[in-house]
Structure 1
């Protein structure tokens, strides 16, 4: 966890720029999360590993006042950028239940875990604990990347990703074991990113998996990417997500 925290502390200053891609992408992702999470009827939302609050703030605008939105993240540097109105919670996912209780919130209506489960040492145990903070009629959404990526990374990066990424079927089974009603949906957004921009993002290790590579290894990977880059100078690829939803009976 310390390595993960250090990674995001280092990226905090450039995190939004690296992950926002475009206003169209942000709008699509927000709308897709909101659809699966059904935020309109919720009074409380917990964004686990929410970083700088990119989506916490946007989802809050879709909820009726005085809804409370909590952005939980172990990185103080990330949470320091959380927008006004989003309640920053400096804690790891395993401490979420305690952190909420300290704020007088024993349970929440909605819970979002976007691209975070691969950081859990024991996903089944952590998700089991988090499910106890989901109130009657509550809904939990886990947005994760599929087992293989379309991203134009170098070969070794793809191999590391595939070795580490939890499978959505296992996540779905974990939620069923927590006595939640489960559904699985696949969504995608077509991205266009200039090669130079994306290569700079890779050099900056914008994905946590890139921290697995030393400077020399990363430079070798970047050269591999540049050698295979399209002549158009633009990467075009699908950003694919799997949305696993767990709902509790009211």
Structure 2
């Protein structure tokens, strides 16, 4: 993760949950999809890498009730500081690269059964090497899940933000190949989450740079983009759009 990205998440940490919890049912549905995709059980040792404030991890813990604490891994300590005190979550200040290379060791675990990377892999520079290193941390029945947006998204952003996002976001097919190259069996499925949000609340989210791509713009550029957004959606007090996500799963080959 670049210094610029770390600074972005340090700035938004205090208000992060407010921006993403506008629809509690969305969080529930997304967490359910992760649990279902990885077939998580109480006995699994789970690492949520790039977990941020643990918004989705908390729900996962309530549903799965893991016997061992979920390893909540994030390189931004300000985000981990927002984790509620819980015996089911253990914060680990580290990046995906730190774990993959062994610079930071897994606490109280030689291997993990399930690794989650939800919307965090695009922040990793050396993705292929990092995925290979993470695959090496999996148990003999281990699974790895990368959740990511495609390059074209339906969020009601302004034009330049859509263009910048497409430039920075990897293609899901590339990640599938990397997971396979890491020695795992790989598959991809797509899931859609319907979203509705009040337009003025969304403006506040844009102003707060709720997506990391918005950190790529200066204050003046962001204001101009929001003006463009306001004009485009002037007749829509409630914004409705579909979130399409690629769920890329890798699992250890038998034998």
Same fold by TM-score greater than 0.5: yes
Equivalent in the alignment of 1:171: 175
Q: Could you tell me which of 131, 137, 144 is aligned with 1:133?
A: 137
Is 1:114 aligned with 2:118? Answer: yes
Q: TM-score normalized by structure 1?
A: 0.95
Work out whether 1:72 is the aligned partner of 2:73: yes
How far off is 1:55 after superposition? 1.7
Find 2:148's aligned residue among 139, 144, 154. 144
Residue deviations 1:55-79, cap 9 Å, x none? 2222222335422200100111110
Which ranges of structure 1 fall in alignment gaps of 5 or more residues?
A: none
Give, in whole Å, the separation in 2 of the partners of 1:68 and 1:248: 22
- Aligned pair count? 250
2:202 alignment counterpart: 198
1:214 deviates by: 0.2
Which residue of 161, 165, 180 corresponds with 1:161? Answer: 165
Q: Note the C-alpha offset of 1:211.
A: 0.7
Quote the Cα distance in structure 1 between the aligned partners of 2:107 and 2:26. 33
- The CA RMSD over aligned residues, in Å, is 1.5
Whether the 8 Å contact between 1:71 and 1:87 is mirrored in structure 2 is yes
CA distance in 2, matches of 1:42, 1:248: 17
Q: CA deviation at 1:101?
A: 3.1
Q: 1:102 to 1:144 in 2, by over 3 A?
A: closer
Please give the alpha-carbon distance, in whole angstroms, between the structure 2 residues aligned to 1:157 and 1:193. 19
- TM-score (ref. length: structure 2): 0.94
Counterpart Cα distance in 1 of 2:150 and 2:233: 23
- Partner of 2:210: helix, strand, or coil? coil
Which structure 2 residues correspond to residues 9-20 of structure 1 after superposition, within 5 A? 9-20=10-21
Distance 1:9 1:227, change over 3 A: same
